[in-house]
Structure 1
Amino acid sequence: MRTDSKAEVGDAGDRGRAVGSLMALTGDMERLDEYMRDKRFAPQLAVWALRGVTRVILANNPLSGALMLVALYWASPWQGLLGTAGLLTSTLVAVILGQDRAEVWGGLHGFNGMLVSLLMGAFNSAGDWYWWLLLPACLGSATSVFFFSGLSSVLDRWDVPVAVFPFNMVIVLYFLCTGPDNPYFPHRLAVPPSSAPPNVTALSVAEVLQGVPLGVGQIFACGSLGPSLLILAGLCLYSPLQAVHALLGSAVGTLAGLSMAVRHECLYSGLSGFNGALGCMAVGGLFFSFSWRTHLLAIASAFLSAFVDIALSNLLGAMGLPACSWAATLTATLLLLLPGGMSAYRIPLARVRAPERNLRSRSRWEAGSAAERNSTDV
């Protein structure tokens, strides 16, 4: 009997170690940073870059980044190459300029550069494998590092993330400097929703439902279903709660697009949902600890992001400019500055981790605060 009990304990221990090893691959994978500290520069750069890939979608897991990068190459090898070039350029420029080590290690200087190059490729009218485009993609990605550093010195005073402000600013400057008739870097003009012809075909419910996961892929300027599902799987590896909020926010954004009678193509392609997905993820457990109040605020953030996106698409589209992710960025920033009761759920930027860990950390903070109050009562 003793032998049987020892065997059961051993099996339980093996299962516990196996589960622990699998759990170490989820969330922020902080143990990996400790392991990589004394490694060579090339593998360190790979980890920093993969973290930068996931930062695009408000995550921080290099394995998730590998899945998302595979998804980009699956959807379009040319877009994958552009994204990789922008990602590595901005990361290396940050290293050369001696930017904060924690920011570089966390991929915070890579994701804006990646988005800049991806959007340049998505709106490029010269076709795939137009090698000249690598020049502005790399220059724009490098410029995003300067924007990030300058904005961080201002926004840090309010403990607000720089987010994708650099990407939105650089891409607008690029489109204003070039144009559809530029002989070297031509691009397509964005069409404002208000100027598009009214919908003349019946709405396809199946395509609208397909547009919900595509809204998650459109965060990477990816409009293919298979790669979008792989991106969603990578996000789920980082945080199931974050993946749920991404789908929920995309669905809410699609619903907002339906209420405004936007073009069916926007609904089918996921363009109506991606700002809602970003707005919902930012509030639903990442920068706010998860609760029923913040969950409702996340849904409200998704609706507001989607409606602001429609308004900005009409405004910027009149000049041929895409609205990009201005809507979600501005909405999330304003919500992070909310005073009153909701500010109690704010997580300091230095402590932001995966939503599940944020929830556990908040429970420990509250327990510690309660114990401190009890110890000081007379």
Structure 2
Amino acid sequence: MGRGIGQVMFQDNALSGLLMLIGIGIGNWTLALWALGGNLISTLTAYWSGCNPTDIRHGLYGFNGTLVGIAAGIWLSLSPLSFLLMALAAALSTGIVVAFKRQQSLPAYTAPFVLATWILIGFCTLVLPHCLQSAPSTLPAAEKLNAGQAVLTGIGQVMFQGNAWSGLCFLAGILLQSRIGAGYALLGALLPLPLALGLGVDASTINLGLMGYNGVLCAIALGGRDLRSFALACVAVLLSVALQLLGMKCGIPTLTAPFVLSVWIMRCFRGSV
């Protein structure tokens, strides 16, 4: 299960996953339980479905369910029905992973989480509105930009934690497995800041990490030791900021869709040149 959490940030390491789980718990201990629940359900679904045991062991069927669990803990009220809905969505995310593996052309990344969570939220909105939590309060009035906080919360928001200490735990988990990965995580969280400011995003939104978390994933996914990988990662990070802003203006819960779309676009570009 530890790898299923670590793989959210591309880390095939159970100890990395444990540090990330601790980071979630620092932000909100109930969300850590939701994360474990989603991880367990999605992993068991893969096992019962006869998926590749090696892939299961490396957490490749657990990380989307982990994110589904956390998202359910944020959007749904606490009840047995909500847990059942989360379990169904986590199982669905595994089914979507299987579908992506069959088509071979594009890696799934966190697309199964995004699709399963959109279906979950949409279903509850239309059919079971009483299962949804009240809308979160508005953001605090804009303060001055705190770049250090924005970078760490940008890392934390990969798993919905707008908390610098959570982000630090996540960064430590990445560093435990890969110094290059940790460096790219920092780059992915830092690079969106000047672009977001230039586009008029208020400081409170930036300080909460909402402009950086997709960039973190983009940078880790595409970053490498060569200059071309570095350039592709940087372009994907900046593109993810634009897609995030577009989704927010349209009132869409973007989740990690900007990351997925940006990396898919860069992979297609890399394959054509």
**Quick one: which of 217, 229, 234 aligns to 1:299?**
234
2:118 alignment counterpart: 172
Separation (CA, whole Å) in 2 of partners of 1:235 and 1:59: 6
In structure 1, list runs of 5 or more residues that go unmatched: 1-48, 343-378
Distance 1:338 1:190, change over 3 A: farther
CA contact under 8 A between 2:215 and 2:241: conserved in structure 1?
yes
CA contact under 8 A between 2:195 and 2:238: conserved in structure 1?
yes
User: Is structure 2 residue 38 aligned with structure 1 residue 86?
Assistant: yes
CA contact under 8 A between 1:309 and 1:323: conserved in structure 2?
yes
Q: Percent of pairs identical after alignment?
A: 26
Distance 1:300 1:339, change over 3 A: closer
CA contact under 8 A between 2:75 and 2:121: conserved in structure 1?
no
Structure 2 length normalisation: TM-score?
0.92
Distance 1:237 1:337, change over 3 A: same
CA RMSD across the alignment: 2.3
CA contact under 8 A between 2:211 and 2:241: conserved in structure 1?
yes
Distance 1:314 1:71, change over 3 A: same
Superposition deviation, residue 256 in structure 1: 2.2
User: Is structure 2 residue 264 aligned with structure 1 residue 264?
Assistant: no
Superposition deviation, residue 224 in structure 1: 1.5
2:66 alignment counterpart: 114
Separation (CA, whole Å) in 2 of partners of 1:259 and 1:130: 43
Separation (CA, whole Å) in 1 of partners of 2:236 and 2:109: 16
**Structure 2 SS opposite 1:55:** helix
The letter of the residue matching 2:56 is V
The letter of the residue matching 1:142 is A
Q: Output aligned runs, 1:127-276, within 5 Å.
A: 129-154=78-103, 156=104, 158=105, 160-179=106-125, 182=128, 184-188=130-134, 201=142, 203-205=143-145, 207-276=146-215
2:51 alignment counterpart: 99
CA contact under 8 A between 1:253 and 1:275: conserved in structure 2?
no
Superposition deviation, residue 276 in structure 1: 1.1
Answer 1 or 2: higher relative contact order, Cα 8 Å, separation at least 6: 2
Separation (CA, whole Å) in 2 of partners of 1:98 and 1:174: 25
Separation (CA, whole Å) in 2 of partners of 1:297 and 1:277: 13
1:51 alignment counterpart: 3
User: Is structure 2 residue 267 aligned with structure 1 residue 336?
Assistant: yes
CA contact under 8 A between 2:5 and 2:20: conserved in structure 1?
yes
Q: Could you list the per-position Cα deviations for residues 108-135 of structure 1 after superposition, in whole angstroms to 9, with x for gaps in the alignment?
A: 11011111111121233x4xx5454211
Q: Could you list the per-position Cα deviations for residues 36-59 of structure 1 after superposition, in whole angstroms to 9, with x for gaps in the alignment?
A: xxxxxxxxxxxxx11110111122
Distance 1:147 1:211, change over 3 A: same
Q: Could you list the per-position Cα deviations for residues 45-76 of structure 1 after superposition, in whole angstroms to 9, with x for gaps in the alignment?
A: xxxx1111011112211111111112212221
Superposition deviation, residue 268 in structure 1: 1.2
Distance 1:279 1:183, change over 3 A: closer
Distance 1:121 1:265, change over 3 A: farther
CA contact under 8 A between 1:90 and 1:113: conserved in structure 2?
yes
1:38 alignment counterpart: none
**Structure 2 SS opposite 1:187:** coil
CA contact under 8 A between 1:168 and 1:324: conserved in structure 2?
yes
CA contact under 8 A between 2:152 and 2:165: conserved in structure 1?
no
The letter of the residue matching 1:53 is I
The letter of the residue matching 2:254 is A
**Quick one: which of 90, 103, 123 aligns to 2:75?**
123
Superposition deviation, residue 341 in structure 1: 7.8
Separation (CA, whole Å) in 2 of partners of 1:341 and 1:95: 37
Aligned length: 273
Separation (CA, whole Å) in 2 of partners of 1:190 and 1:262: 19
